[in-house]
């Protein structure tokens, strides 16, 4: 019954007006912080190691604010999946750096969109897919019925979803060589065989080498982007990656990518996915960052 209940709940939430959904999300966030949930504790831990020079009260306030945005993301995303592309367009407050995106799409080099877990990354995928041919990786959730709904929703503006395996990566490279666009979430922890350690917020993080490999094997360009939550909708940001990301030296490329993630997170750190155990893998011999049971 659990998968059916979750799917029904999401579909009920999807009928809410955006403002109402966000209101319930903020209430949820208050509860997550007040109850000292796992998400809240991991957020506190990540903030402590990533912002060690920031005073405790500031980090605590940031953690509380993050729970509010986590709750809003939970409630607003089904609403987003259930609405039309016209509805989404009417809720885009502004597009900062749109000229960078247009310039990239106007040439035939292919474009890698790097979308950190900041704000609502679903917005970026839906909005960009309506502008150009876009391919992205997709790993279905454990509940098939829920996965089918998510897949249909993400594809409704034209996105091409491919599996997170060798064939999917091949599809990304093929799309780039055709001058198309691919979307990648660059701050997920990859399998050890597909990553290497590189500093992120001053902490060693197992970082995916996928972006480096795609850029090295194509003449594509990389752009960081995000959709930040604002009253009434979202503000989109597009920022070209630093030139070092194109380096043949993998360590330099990974460091540049992580530096780009840091820069875009700085736009709204309270909207970043701090509840994710990004640093759970550490170099051999290094102590664990997370407390047992957190």
Q: Is the pLDDT of residue 292 over 80?
A: no
In a domain, 57, yes or no: no
Place 2 in a pLDDT band, splitting at 50, 70 and 90: confident
Place 223 in a pLDDT band, splitting at 50, 70 and 90: very high
For Cα atoms 85, 89, 95, give the angle at the middle one, nearest 5 degrees: 135
Q: Is the pLDDT of residue 293 over 60?
A: no
In a domain, 225, yes or no: yes
Give pLDDT, residue 139: 86
Place 144 in a pLDDT band, splitting at 50, 70 and 90: confident
Place 141 in a pLDDT band, splitting at 50, 70 and 90: confident
In a domain, 101, yes or no: yes
Domain coverage including residue 173: 85-271
For Cα atoms 109, 235, 77, give the angle at the middle one, nearest 5 degrees: 95
Q: Is the pLDDT of residue 145 over 80?
A: no
Q: How far is it, in rounded angstroms, from Cα 238 to Cα 223?
A: 7
In a domain, 212, yes or no: yes
Q: What is the mean pLDDT of the chain?
A: 94
Burial of 1 (0-12, 13-18, 19+ CB in 10 A): exposed
Give pLDDT, residue 251: 98
In a domain, 119, yes or no: yes
Place 150 in a pLDDT band, splitting at 50, 70 and 90: confident
Place 294 in a pLDDT band, splitting at 50, 70 and 90: low
In a domain, 235, yes or no: yes
pLDDT in tens, 152-171: 888 999 899 999 999 999 99
In a domain, 67, yes or no: no
Q: What is the pTM of this model?
A: 0.95
Give pLDDT, residue 291: 74
Beta strand extents in the chain (DSSP E only): 92-96, 111-114, 134-138, 160-163, 181-184, 195-200, 203-208, 221-230, 233-240
Number of domains comprising the chain: 1
In a domain, 224, yes or no: yes
Q: Is the pLDDT of residue 140 over 70?
A: yes
């Amino acid at each position: 019954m659990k998968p059916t209940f979750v799917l029904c709940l999401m579909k009920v939430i999807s009928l809410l007006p955006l403002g109402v959904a966000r209101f319930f999300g903020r209430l949820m966030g208050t509860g997550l912080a007040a109850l000292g949930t796992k998400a809240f504790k991991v957020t506190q831990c990540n903030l402590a190691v990533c912002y060690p020079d920031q005073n405790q009260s500031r980090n605590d306030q940031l953690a509380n604010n993050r729970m509010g945005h986590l709750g809003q993301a939970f409630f607003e995303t089904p609403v987003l999946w259930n609405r039309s592309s016209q509805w989404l367009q009417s809720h885009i407050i502004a597009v900062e750096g749109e000229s960078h995106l247009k310039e990239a799409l106007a040439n035939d080099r292919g474009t890698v969109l790097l979308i950190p877990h900041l704000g609502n990354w679903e917005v970026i995928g839906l909005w960009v897919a309506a502008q150009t041919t876009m391919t992205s990786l997709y790993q279905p959730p454990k509940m098939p019925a829920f996965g089918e709904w998510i897949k249909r929703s993400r594809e409704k503006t034209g996105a091409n979803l491919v599996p997170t395996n060798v064939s999917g990566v091949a599809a990304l490279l093929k799309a780039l060589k055709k001058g198309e666009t691919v979307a990648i979430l660059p701050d997920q922890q990859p399998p050890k065989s597909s990553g290497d350690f590189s500093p992120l917020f001053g902490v060693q993080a197992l970082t995916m080498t996928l972006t480096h490999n795609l850029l090295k094997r194509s003449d594509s360009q990389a752009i960081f982007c995000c959709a930040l939550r604002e009253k009434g909708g979202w503000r989109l940001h597009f920022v070209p990656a630093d030139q070092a990301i194109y380096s043949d030296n993998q360590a330099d490329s990974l460091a540049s990518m992580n530096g780009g993630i840091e820069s875009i997170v700085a736009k709204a750190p309270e909207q970043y996915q701090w509840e994710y155990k990004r640093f759970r893998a550490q170099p051999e011999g290094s102590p664990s960052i997370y407390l047992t049971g957190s």
